[in-house]
Chains A and B, each alone.
Chain A
């Protein structure tokens, strides 16, 4: 039987309460939301904390999906299942439903949260790749209600490391809305619900048939989820075509940094990065046109 090392359990009743607990307990405390990443790590003694602050009661405050003309705002405590089942989110960014269908399994998706996924900062994590693809902004709140907004590049400092400091909490993700958008996500995994061998997200913005902008985000091929600006530069102003997608795939393959491990060789992962980039770009363009 695997159990975490001893810790004190605290329950936060509001965002401000959670921040005041973090302020008091500092680096010896960690927030726990769904817990499906943190608790297995604590059982394996890969992580130990003196205090766990349960923020599940904050779902009422931070569990929402709000669409506006300029951006979609998602509360950090929104659960995977809510993201999968949201019609407004699927209409704006179908990439979310694509990704959610391949994240863990339905029972785990009942508990896990968007904020928890991003704060875990696993390089293979799907929603981080989605948020990188969509150029998401992360809203971090600290003591006294002070908020700062950072990009995904700034948010993920390294594997399992984020810009969220002691005494701060990720409260919201903001996704910019621009016209003519299509998006898609694809993942290769060893078995249902597993971490990605490689996964790719694509978003394109069309105007009059031409690509105004495009973004590709990859997971499991480097220390963080990876946005590839060179693909955006190569696609801007072009008419979508198979040869263009192939070119983007080639850039993805040489721009990422996979390692050989039990999930596959680095060469195989580069091949997947190219192929999944092509597939998701193709699908994203189809969706932008429909």
Chain B
């Protein structure tokens, strides 16, 4: 059968078997090996990708089921050369040891921050509770996600400040103009 889906904003069409799983489609057919494949039974969560913006375990989704839908993998997390704050957080806080669970962890973490920009430690732990880090590195993973949340909040505050000062300047300019006219 033929399947067409959009992966990281690129439309792809391939001839596949009905039984092909999404994780194998991404890795073996498209060569996107950033998505890892671990337990095969939807327990470990290393294969997490987004399907229409929601994290899913791609070892338990048929590639055919993704037909007509949007898929995003860890390769589509950065914006060009600029790393996503989640990726920066994992670098800054040593959120990885062997790196095997990292792509799935980052996809889940990104989705969490998109819905909840200021998650507590408990909320972060709950979000990644279906994903296993065998290096026992959860503490630094949680710290990495918090780092990203704080970094994004600070960036947003800076943008707001700049906009505010620009607006204030414009109002002052407008006042001067009005005064000049009067």
Is B130 an interface residue, CB under 8 A from the partner? yes
CA of A35 to CA of B21, assembled, Å: 11
Residues 1 to 23 of chain A near chain B (Cβ within 8 Å)? 1-9, 11
Of A89-97, A101-109, A154-162, A262-270, the stretch lying at the interface with chain B is A101-109
- Are the C-beta atoms of B127 and A111 separated by less than 8 Å? no
Does A148 count as interface, using CB distance less than 8 angstroms? no
What distance in Å separates the Cβ of B21 from its nearest Cβ neighbour in chain A? 7
Is B60's CB under 8 angstroms from A104's CB? Answer: no
Interface code A99-131, partner B: CB below 8 Å = 1, 0 otherwise? 000001111101100000000000000000000
List chain A residues, Cβ under 8 A from B17: 6
Residue on A nearest B45 in the bound complex, by CB = A107
- CB–CB A105/B55 < 8 A: no
Q: How far is the CB of B102 from chain A (nearest CB, A)?
A: 15
| Contact status B21-A111, CB under 8 Å | no
- Number of contacting residues on A, CB 8 A? 28
Task: Tell me if B108 and A107 are in contact (CB < 8 A).
Answer: yes
Taken together as a complex, chains A and B put the C-alpha atoms of A11 and B54 apart, in Å, by 21
Contact of B42 among A4, A6, A7, A40 (CB under 8 A): A40
| Chain B interface, number of residues (Cβ within 8 angstroms) | 30
Q: Which residue of the partner chain A has the closest CB to B16? A: A9
A105 near B40: Cβ-Cβ < 8 Å:
no
Which chain B positions have C-beta within 8 A of A39?
A: 21, 42, 60, 62
Query: Residue B24 at the A interface, CB < 8 A?
Result: yes
B19, chain A: closest CB distance, angstroms: 5
- CB pair A35 B129 closer than 8 Å: no
What string of 1s and 0s marks CB contacts (under 8 Å) between B111-151 and chain A?
00000000000000011011100000000000000000000
A50 to chain B: closest CB distance in Å? 10
- A54 CB → nearest B CB, Å: 6
CB pair A40–B41 under 8 Å, yes or no, is yes
CB contacts (< 8 Å) of B21 on chain A: these are 3, 39
Given contacts A35-B60, A193-B129, contact A107 B18 (CB under 8 A): no
Kindly identify, within residues 54 to 108 of chain B, every residue whose CB is under 8 Å from any CB belonging to chain A: 54-57, 60-62, 64-65, 67, 108
Binary interface encoding of chain B residues 47-58 relative to chain A, with 1 for a CB under 8 A from any of its CBs, else 0: 010000011110
CB contacts (< 8 Å) of A271 on chain B: these are none
Interface residues of A in 21-68 (CB under 8 A from B): 32, 35-36, 39-40, 43, 52, 54, 56
Q: Do A8 and B41 touch across chains, with their CB atoms under 8 A apart?
A: no
The A210-253 residues at the B interface (CB cut-off 8 A) are: none
* A107 CB contact (under 8 Å) in B40, B56, B67: B56
Q: Which of B40, B64, B127 contacts A1 (CB 8 A)?
A: B40
Contact between A110 and B19 (Cβ–Cβ < 8 Å)?
Answer: no
Q: Within the complex, which residue of B24, B64, B127, B130 is in contact with A108, where a contact is CB–CB below 8 Å?
A: B130
C-beta contact mask, B22-40 vs A, less than 8 Å → 1, else 0?
Answer: 0010000000000001001
Q: Does B10 contact A (CB under 8 A)?
A: no
* Contact assessment for B19 and A5 in the assembled complex, using a CB-CB cutoff below 8 Å: yes
CA distance A9 to B67 in the complex (A): 11
Q: Is the CB of B62 within 8 A of A107?
A: no
Q: Give Cα A1–Cα B40 distance, bound, in whole angstroms.
A: 7
**B180: CB under 8 A from chain A?**
no
> Does A192 count as interface, using CB distance less than 8 angstroms?
yes
Contact assessment for A7 and B130 in the assembled complex, using a CB-CB cutoff below 8 Å: no
A8–B108 touching, CB < 8 Å:
no
CA distance A108 to B127 in the complex (A): 11
Let me know if A107 and B57 touch, CB within 8 A. yes
Question: Is B48's CB under 8 angstroms from A7's CB?
Answer: no
A3 CA / B20 CA spacing, docked (Å): 7
Whether A1 contacts B24 by the Cβ 8 Å rule is yes
Known: A56-B65, A108-B57, A110-B54. A43 touches B40 (CB 8 A): yes
Inside 8 A of A11's CB, which chain B residues have their CB?
A: 64, 67
Q: A39-B21, A54-B62 are in contact. List 7 more A-B contacts (CB 8 A).
A: A5-B19, A36-B42, A39-B60, A56-B65, A107-B130, A108-B130, A111-B61
Chain B residues with CB under 8 Å of chain A are: 1, 17-21, 24, 37, 40-43, 45, 48, 54-57, 60-62, 64-65, 67, 108, 126-127, 129-131
The 3 closest A-B pairs by CB, nearest first: A105-B130, A9-B18, A9-B64
